[in-house]
Amino acid sequence: GAVVSQHPSWVICKSGTSVKIECRSLDFQATTMFWYRQFPKQSLMLMATSNEGSKATYEQGVEKDKFLINHASLTLSTLTVTSAHPEDSSFYICSARDPQGAYEQYFGPGTRLTVT
């Protein structure tokens, strides 16, 4: 099946700094990718839909100026957490659909962000 990777797998940063997380579709081109956030013992919450070559669509309550999304190519979407604070510590997961495949979305392995 299609493979989606994320980098880094985990990151620790200081409060006030920015962190970039990459999401790549390794063997297919994805015009649309999705970013989720998952807090401990909770379900995944959709943050935004990333569209190649256009602006991302953010879910209600997600600050677009804080969570910058760039989808500059058909295989790469990035999520930048700007001016991170401890409450941004979470598990960030991206997903993408393989246009050549069936209807399922493929998820990346996730990135654990810890803000100290």
Q: Does 35 bind another protein (CB under 8 A)?
A: no
Spatial neighbors of 6 by CB under 8 A, at least 6 apart, are 21, 22, 23, 24, 92, 93, 94, 108, 109, 110, 111
Q: Does 32 bind another protein (CB under 8 A)?
A: yes
Interface pick for another protein out of 19, 67, 108, 113 (rule CB under 8 A) = 108
Q: Does 71 bind another protein (CB under 8 A)?
A: no
DSSP symbol at 20: E
Q: Does 49 bind another protein (CB under 8 A)?
A: yes
Cα–Cα dist 29/10, whole Å: 25
Q: Does 12 bind another protein (CB under 8 A)?
A: no
Retrieve residue 46's tokens: 């959709």
Phi, psi of 88 (to 5 degrees): -85, -10
Interface pick for another protein out of 3, 11, 13, 44 (rule CB under 8 A) = 44
Binding site for another protein (CB under 8 A): 1, 4, 6, 32, 34, 36, 43-46, 49, 91, 93, 95, 97, 101-110, 112
